[in-house]
Amino acid sequence: MERHRHIVRSCLFGLALAAPVAWAGVFDITATVNGQTQSRQYDTAEDALAATTDAGMRALIASYNGTETASLKLDFRGVNMLLAYPTQGSTLLRLDIPVLNLSQTFQGASRNASEDLLKEYFKKNPDLLSRLQRALVETSPVDPVAGNPNSMMSRGAAQDYGLGLVSPSQASGKADKPSGLVGFMPSYTKLVANGVSNPRDMDSDAASLPLSYSRQFETPGRELTIYVPLAQTDVEGAKAYDVGMSLTYRGPISEQWYLAFTGGLRATGSPDLGSGVAMGNATITSSYVIPGKDFSFTIGNMVGFYKALKLKVNDVAYDPDIRNTVFRNGVLIEQNSTMMLGDEPVTWEYALVDTRYTGTRLFNRNQQEVSVTFGSKRAANARTSSMRGGLSYIRAPHAKGFSLSFGYWF
């Protein structure tokens, strides 16, 4: 089955170049030999390649002897590809990627030589790799870069919005001497993504541990925050990782209106999912506070620009050209409570947020979140310590899930 192994490796070679980290993925393989078809699902490329050995192919199709016409259909997280030797005894290799409107044939002196021509084709056409990454964020329900609530872009937009938002308690505090505050805010998000081209649902679990340092100034609500997000996402056993750093400055325009400016860099990579991108962003967030006796409100509005950066991998220039303007709008309701957490008063917070993505077409172009948190009343200035915990429900056109969060500042 050496020829079939070359076919899969040739295709995954192109995907490897598209991913700055490595190649792999959550994908299906359908093998067809002389009209007989068998399919298997795989979590990583290592497992998929094992299925393309002589033993693996014969396990799929027992009658295989290595001389027939053959084809392999790969469902790479929603992007379908077909590699085939359509004529028995011929060295003609055909490649089809419908989402890219790509159809090419390669013919060498042998089938191995045809597969070498395919590899060279990917090397000499890096734009195809950029187009492939853009196709993945539009077509894949679990792309780690963008297009679903567990992706780096979606998580980044939520974090930037949260950093810029001012709660009613923070706006009503009294001036104090400048002070600093260290925080860590672990969270867990469970998401079920619904495929479109592939009817199989995919689960993803994201664990995040953002770290922050905030310098709070004498004026209530004026703050400078350094934020370092760390996250790992598990998609059906495949792992993705992302890390970043951002800087947010927030200050009052009036007693009730605050603006925040955020700039940051993030990067995600997944050897298993066959994807990796660095991304820069700049956002501005407006908070308008409406105070009340028992209930107070903050109307939050954010607009942000997120862009994937050019990379060079193995001497191949790679520019995914993913760029999106993100609009995130919501309302935060703060309810005072008579309860105490140690010596600190507590509050309930209820939030409803809507997020919209324009620019590069994404698998999910909007998402909504409803959340409730409970904990120490937010302060305009630093104090010894505070904490909050909460639960969110998340929905998008092709995904739904929930998130658990906890924050501790000291």
Q: Encode pLDDT of 153-193 as tens digits.
A: 999 999 999 999 998 888 776 656 667 889 999 999 999 98
pLDDT > 70? residue 5: no
Distance CA 67, CA 69 (A): 7
Given this model, what pLDDT does residue 229 score? 95
Global pTM value: 0.85
Distance CA 78, CA 240 (A): 17
Q: In what order do the strands lie in the sheet with 27-33?
A: 36-42, 27-33, 70-76, 79-85, 92-97, 102-107
Q: Encode pLDDT of 351-393 as tens digits.
A: 999 999 999 999 999 999 999 999 988 766 656 678 899 999 9
Distance CA 107, CA 114 (A): 5
Given this model, what pLDDT does residue 283 score? 98
* Bridge partners, 339 (sequence order): none
Q: Encode pLDDT of 199-221 as tens digits.
A: 567 889 999 999 999 888 877 77
**Model confidence at 317, in pLDDT bands (50, 70, 90)?**
low
312-318 long-range contacts (CB < 8 A, ≥24 apart) are: 313/17, 313/20, 314/17, 316/17, 316/123, 316/126, 316/129, 317/126, 318/17, 318/18, 318/20, 318/126, 318/129, 318/130
Cα atoms found within 13 Å of the Cα of residue 15, Cβ hemisphere only:
27
Q: Tell me the CA distances in angstroms from 88 to 8, 40, 255, one per residue in order.
A: 19, 24, 78
- Decide: 297 and 332 in contact? Cβ < 8 Å: yes
Given this model, what pLDDT does residue 38 score? 83
Distance CA 373, CA 62 (A): 57
Percent of the chain's residues with pLDDT above 70: 83
- Decide: 365 and 381 in contact? Cβ < 8 Å: no
Q: Encode pLDDT of 43-95 as tens digits.
A: 765 666 565 554 566 677 777 676 677 787 877 777 888 888 888 888 888 88
Given this model, what pLDDT does residue 15 score? 43
How confident is the model over 272-299, as a mean pLDDT? Answer: 91
**Model confidence at 315, in pLDDT bands (50, 70, 90)?**
low
pLDDT > 70? residue 314: no
Task: Name the most confidently modeled range: 26-30, 83-87, 287-291, 383-387.
Answer: 287-291
Q: Encode pLDDT of 258-267 as tens digits.
A: 999 999 999 9
